[in-house]
């Protein structure tokens, strides 16, 4: 058994509001500077610096120097999964008082956002449902399956799974429980490929300082034409 002290250490790293906020801010897979992270956590840069050093030492974060900036990002998809697990419990654990905390910004998040590196929210589950309806993928009791000709059919749409990452342990196709929708959306390497495709074609664009995504008119048209999705929500 892994020493339980190691488990506690990881828990402790997450168990601090400022660090949790920073980790959450990095959940979209992008890299942010120490200053930006200090901002989202509501603390001074020098305090943030200490936190980030600890997170990096524990290999939860990876840091990349670029000039006088230091960009921090989650060290791996596994770390993102960890945060997801915690957040899932956090949501379940919470007594169901006043579930929908609907702000204007919240609405955008519910409509479309990224979850680490794949699509989530109404858009995420809609695209997932469409792929299931097409028979490209299927979910069997929480396990993801790709049809034998699934990858070829996706390639025909211009969606290519990153071959360089094939040898990693990261799952190809995996369901990920969506917070706002409470239903699974597509995750794994395939989910990342779909998300990349949407961003590259400018079907969606990132909304500043947020994981929320804006669905462009071009995107709405493509959703209708290629996935048969007329309305989201």
Partner DNA sequence: CGGATGCTTCGGTCTGGGCCGTAGCGTCGC
Partner DNA sequence: GCGACGCTACGGCCCAGACCGAAGCATCCG
Touching DNA, residues 29-88 (CB under 7 A): 33-36, 43-54, 63, 67-70
# binding residues, a copy of itself (CB under 8 A):
60
Smallest distance, Å, CB 207 to a copy of itself?
A: 13
Query: What is the pairing mode between strands 174-177 and 213-215?
Result: unpaired
Q: Which of 56, 55, 23 lies closest to 37, judged by CA? A: 23
Residue 47, binding choice from a copy of itself, DNA, none, Cβ under 5 to 8 Å by partner class? DNA
Task: Identify the helix (H) or strand (E) that includes residue 124.
Answer: helix 121-134
What pairs with residue 74 in β-bridges? 61
229 binds a copy of itself (CB under 8 A): no
- Whether the CB-CB separation of 15 and 60 falls below 8 Å is answered with no
Q: Which of 60, 111, 115, 107 lies closest to 88, judged by CA? A: 115
Residue 228, binding choice from a copy of itself, DNA, none, Cβ under 5 to 8 Å by partner class? none
Rounded Cα distance between 139 and 129, Å, is 10
220 binds DNA (CB under 7 A): no
Positions in the binding site for a copy of itself (CB under 8 A) = 1-17, 19-21, 23-24, 58-60, 76, 78-79, 81-83, 85-94, 106, 109, 140-146, 169-174, 179, 188-189, 211
Positions in the binding site for DNA (CB under 7 A) = 12, 16-18, 33-36, 43-54, 63, 67-70
């Amino acid at each position: 058994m892994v020493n339980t002290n190691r488990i506690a250490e990881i828990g402790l790293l997450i168990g601090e509001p400022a660090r949790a906020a920073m980790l959450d801010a990095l959940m979209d897979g992008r890299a942010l500077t120490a200053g930006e992270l200090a901002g989202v956590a509501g603390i001074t840069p020098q305090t943030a610096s200490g936190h980030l050093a600890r997170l990096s030492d524990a290999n939860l974060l990876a840091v990349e120097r670029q000039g006088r900036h230091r960009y921090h990002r989650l060290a791996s998809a596994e770390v993102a999964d960890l945060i997801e697990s915690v957040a899932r419990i956090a949501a379940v654990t919470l007594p169901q008082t006043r579930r929908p905390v609907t702000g204007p910004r919240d609405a955008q998040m519910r409509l479309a956002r990224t979850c680490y590196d794949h699509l989530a929210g109404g858009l995420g589950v809609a695209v997932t449902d469409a792929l299931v309806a097409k028979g490209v993928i299927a979910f069997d009791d929480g396990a993801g399956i790709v049809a034998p000709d699934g990858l070829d059919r996706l390639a025909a749409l211009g969606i290519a799974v990153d071959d360089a990452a094939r040898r990693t342990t990261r799952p190809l196709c995996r369901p990920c429980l969506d917070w706002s929708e409470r239903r699974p959306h597509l995750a794994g390497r395939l989910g990342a490929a779909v998300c990349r495709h949407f961003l590259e074609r400018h079907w969606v664009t990132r909304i500043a300082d947020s994981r929320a995504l804006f669905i462009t008119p071009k995107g709405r048209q493509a959703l209708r034409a290629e996935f048969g999705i007329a309305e989201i929500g």
